[in-house]
Amino acid sequence: MLHARLSQNRGTEPATTFLRELKEEHRVGDAEFLVDGMGYLTALAKTDLLGDLNYPKRNIVEKLFQTYTMRVGRFHETWNGSQPALGAWLTAYTAYYNHLRSHQALENQPPIEALEQEGSI
Range of the domain at 60: 55-118
| pLDDT tens per residue, range 46-97 | 888 887 766 666 667 777 778 888 887 777 777 777 777 878 888 898 899 8
Task: Judge if 34 and 62 occupy the same domain.
Answer: no
Residue 78 Cα distances to 65, 73, 74, 81, 102, angstroms: 20, 9, 7, 9, 25
For residue 7, being part of any structural domain is answered with: no
Domains of the chain: total: 2
Task: Judge if 59 and 74 occupy the same domain.
Answer: yes
Q: Which residue would you say has higher pLDDT here, 25 or 57?
A: 25
Task: Judge if 114 and 82 occupy the same domain.
Answer: yes
Encoded amino acid at 45, one letter? A
**Whose CA is closest to 44, among 17, 70, 67, 71?**
17
For residue 3, being part of any structural domain is answered with: no
Residues 53/6/3/97 CA torsion (nearest 10 deg): -50
**In terms of pTM, does the model score above 0.75?**
no
Which of the residue ranges 4-8, 15-19, 29-33 would you say has the lowest mean pLDDT?
Answer: 4-8
Task: Judge if 33 and 70 occupy the same domain.
Answer: no
**Whose CA is closest to 47, among 81, 22, 84?**
22
Q: Which residue would you say has higher pLDDT here, 106 or 58?
A: 106
The predicted structure's pLDDT at residue 54: 66
The predicted structure's pLDDT at residue 112: 87
Residues 6+ apart with CB under 8 A from 85: none
Q: Is the pLDDT reported for residue 1 higher than 70?
A: no
